[in-house]
Amino acid sequence: MKELEEIFLKAKKDLEETKIFQDLSTFYVNYLGKTGKVTELMKKVKDLPNEEKRTFGQTVNKIKQDLQSLMEEREKEFAKQKILNKINKTKDLDLTVPSSCPHGSLHPISIIQNEVIDIFLSMGFTVEDGNEIETEYNNFEAVNVPKNHPARDMQDTFYLDNGQVLKTHTSAAQNRIMRKYGAPLKAIFPGRCFRNEELDASHENTFFQIEGMMIDKDVSVANLIYFMKEMLTHVFKKEINVRLRPGFFPFVEPGFELDISCPYCDGKGCRVCKHGGWIELCPCGMIHPNVLRMGGIDPDKCQGFAFGLGFSRLAMMTYDITEIRLLNSGNIKALSQAGIK
Ligand code: FA5
């Protein structure tokens, strides 16, 4: 028992004398580890006469537990000291000095997308997701572009080995959404599109569109005009007039090109609208009966409109970006200027 007490006192002293965190490992090995002094004493218990076993065993156990909790306390002290040392080192740090670290900003496409989504949500539309890799059926056949139809040439794309395609337009999600919800339906679905294009200042191989569809009894071109005007008036933050010209898309009948009165010169004529007062913005039309039928909706009971707005071009107009390829570049300077507007 005397030996026990001596070991305990020596261990306490050693612990108090530890100076750095690493000293605690040595302490552990010396006393509590597999061949440590306390562990060795515990091994002796089995050889003691029965009447001593109990008291000796209990005392060694108590010593072991006490040393363990003393060691944990010491560990905490070291951890606390480490933090205090760090704080002391940064004593002269002035947290009120403005940071020189540049702030990030949202990408112009994200800004426009969020705005348009908010507007349509407030008008009762839901926001749906579309795939980037699509079946050929959804991208073409389901929107009334059969195999070998000349309209396929308008949207050449990238074909995968398994026969799927990188979607050429957000219209590729129309069929899936109609089948999922049926009529009535009010949905928008933004997404990234891909085309095998000749690239220039306004044509990219990867760009963004947002599609919208409204299907119900008695939906007409008047509804289409109303929702487009509302959305564009909010985006440009001024009253925008629209006009429709005939346009051909196999998935709408009648099909239109929707022009907007130039928001920069209010229709008087400027560089942006090439002095015409109008800007071609968004193809749209009344959903073709074949497309409704393929989507599981009876065209004799419901009609609908659809539009496919080019986000990349809208972002360019809004932020006065003259080169579309900047949008997919890592040119932080150009992109963040749009972000701060
Ligand atoms: C379509 O993609 C039709 N799916 C739109 C539609 C939907 C019509 C519903 C009717 C009903 P289009 O190929 O014109 O149509 O493309 C629509 C818009 O996407 C264009 O007005 C343009 O803003 C944008 N766009 C098309 N190709 C590119 C490209 N290579 N780079 C950047 N933007 C593009």
pLDDT, tens digit, for every residue of 229-264? 999 898 888 888 999 999 999 999 999 999 999 988
The reply to whether ligand 1 has any atom less than 6 angstroms from the CB of 288 is no
The reply to whether ligand 1 has any atom less than 6 angstroms from the CB of 317 is no
CA-wise closest residue to 213 among 155, 144, 141, 285 = 285
Indicate the Cα dihedral angle 286, 289, 295, 298, nearest 10°: 110
Residue nearest to atom 26 of ligand 1 (CA): 310
* Strand extents, DSSP E, the chain: 126-127, 133-134, 165-166, 185-194, 206-216, 242-246, 252-261, 278-287, 303-310
Round the CA-based radius of gyration of the chain to a whole number and report it.
36
pLDDT, tens digit, for every residue of 256-293? 999 999 988 888 988 888 899 999 999 999 999 999 99
Dihedral sign for Cα atoms in the order 199, 236, 220, 304: positive
Element (H, E) at 290: helix 289-294
The reply to whether ligand 1 has any atom less than 6 angstroms from the CB of 285 is yes
- Each residue's pLDDT expressed in tens, for the chain with a length of 341 residues: 788 889 999 999 999 999 988 889 999 999 999 999 999 988 888 888 888 888 888 999 999 999 999 999 999 999 999 888 888 887 777 778 887 777 778 899 999 999 999 999 999 999 999 899 999 999 999 999 999 888 888 898 999 999 999 999 999 999 999 999 999 999 999 999 999 989 988 899 999 999 999 999 999 999 999 999 999 898 888 888 999 999 999 999 999 999 999 988 888 988 888 899 999 999 999 999 999 999 999 999 999 999 999 988 888 888 888 889 999 988 888 787 765 44
Alpha carbons 62 and 76: distance in angstroms, whole number: 21
CA-wise closest residue to 306 among 206, 173, 153 = 173
Measured in angstroms, how far is the CA atom of residue 169 from the centroid of ligand 1? 7
Alpha carbons 199 and 176: distance in angstroms, whole number: 30
Measured in angstroms, how far is the CA atom of residue 227 from the centroid of ligand 1? 18
Atom of ligand 1 lying closest to residue 313 CA: 23
Measured in angstroms, how far is the CA atom of residue 95 from the centroid of ligand 1? 50
The reply to whether ligand 1 has any atom less than 6 angstroms from the CB of 140 is no
Give the predicted TM-score (pTM) of the model: 0.72
